[in-house]
Amino acid sequence: MSQVYEELVNETNKYGLHERTALAHLEAASPSRVRNASYRVSAGVSNNLASRDLKALVDAGFLIPKRERRGRHYVASDIVMKVRNRNRLTRGGVDPFADDEINPKLIQESLF
């Protein structure tokens, strides 16, 4: 997750946004909804500053706003999801039981 955060910080710097706004990116990439209240707590900022940061992230194309007034939240845009997917770890990886990947020499060595 640290690689995702570092890349999101670099993206925010390109747009001249404060580094703390990467916290909203990271929360949206997790994937979950970002609300003013949750961002305010994670970034340690006031309500007004959180609103300005979230608006700047929407204007820069990092977040997509959903709903109006009560229930307002933000989700990750394609930019944020691409960063997440680039740095995503795959589950499982190689199947050790697949027929084409069995190496008889390794099996023989492990038995003796």
Q: Residue ranges of the domains in the chain? A: 2-89
Could you report the per-residue pLDDT of 59-90, keeping only the tens digit for each?
A: 988 888 998 878 888 888 887 788 777 776 55
End-to-end distance of the chain based on CA atoms, in angstroms? 40
Tokens (6 digits) for 92: 């499982």
**Model pTM?**
0.68
What CATH number should be reported for the domain whose range is 2-89?
A: 1.10.10.10
